[in-house]
Structure 1
């Protein structure tokens, strides 16, 4: 899958006086972020409670303080993994579109973008590329309803402005 990427400096936030592009539009999911934070708090609270009360019963197993700390640590790691779901975002500017999903981000110049779509029955939008490939945009999710519709409209508007193909 040949993907043309804009250099890494274009995916970072612009700094005053730098030559990095300014993003005209940025979108992040709403409901998924709130849900992820709630789940992360519940995971930490559950594992912390389990860790604290680990030595309170007589189960025949000799738990130590290190086991309690490990239990809380596992909860923190689990919460951190859930919070990765808060990372997705889409940025749009004159140079192209930058899509950040859970683990990485890719920037695409307008020359390599064919359009954006929201296929029926799918949970998130996707960026259509000229080589018949696509990139899922986890930041624009169907469960955000009006927020997602406004984001798609703005993305199409900016695409028409910069590429003339949207």
Structure 2
């Protein structure tokens, strides 16, 4: 990475609930959370405005306060679902790789990881597993440009350090 460029690590090693869970590299995208927040705000505003406008004129249909609340609640639920895109991250450490996409995090030990790749026509990176399986890594996306490239390079450096060496028979 060029000198003075942003390093994709977000602070000191992250600690989870157990002291043995030390992560050497934590990567979160910049662009996706910003877009998700903006879209969630727009969706919420649209639902609030439409809910408020439901009672502006009489259309012959009985629309009450409960209908307005329902529209507002739907807006909150949809905005909340969109905000799940702000949670994506990739963590790498001695114990393996943690991939959190929208809801939960999955941690893969180094013995199960073949590599991290970015497909030619892909949205984000993929964590390669044995038997041609892969897990999408929504945190590493082309939209982040050089930061995403830096994350891929850092992952590869840490893989060289932590991945078990193949034994020769």
Which of the five TM-score ranges fits, normalised by the shorter chain? 0.7 to 0.9
**1:20-48 Cα distance to aligned partner (Å, 9 max, x none):** 31111111122111111001001111111
Alignment of 1:69-88 (within 5 A): 69-88=69-88
1:96 alignment partner in structure 2: 96
Q: TM-score, normalised by structure 2?
A: 0.83
2:42 alignment partner in structure 1: 42
2:11 alignment partner in structure 1: none
* Contact 2:111/2:164 (8 A) holds in 1: no
* Distance in 2, Cα, partners of 1:122 & 1:94: 28
Flag structure 2 segments of 5+ consecutive residues without an equivalent. Answer: 1-13
2:32 alignment partner in structure 1: 32
How far is the alpha carbon of 1:140 from its aligned partner? 0.3
Runs of 4+ in 1 over 4 A off after TM superposition: none
How far is the alpha carbon of 1:49 from its aligned partner? 0.9
Flag structure 1 segments of 5+ consecutive residues without an equivalent. Answer: 1-11
Q: RMSD between aligned alpha carbons?
A: 1.7
Alignment of 1:60-71 (within 5 A): 60-71=60-71
1:132 alignment partner in structure 2: 132
1:57 alignment partner in structure 2: 57
How far is the alpha carbon of 1:62 from its aligned partner? 1.9
* Distance in 1, Cα, partners of 2:71 & 2:113: 47
**1:92-146 Cα distance to aligned partner (Å, 9 max, x none):** 0011001111132211111111111111111111111233311111110111111
How far is the alpha carbon of 1:164 from its aligned partner? 6.0
* Distance in 2, Cα, partners of 1:13 & 1:76: 31
Q: TM-score, normalised by structure 1?
A: 0.85
Aligned residues: 152
How far is the alpha carbon of 1:19 from its aligned partner? 3.5
How far is the alpha carbon of 1:63 from its aligned partner? 1.1
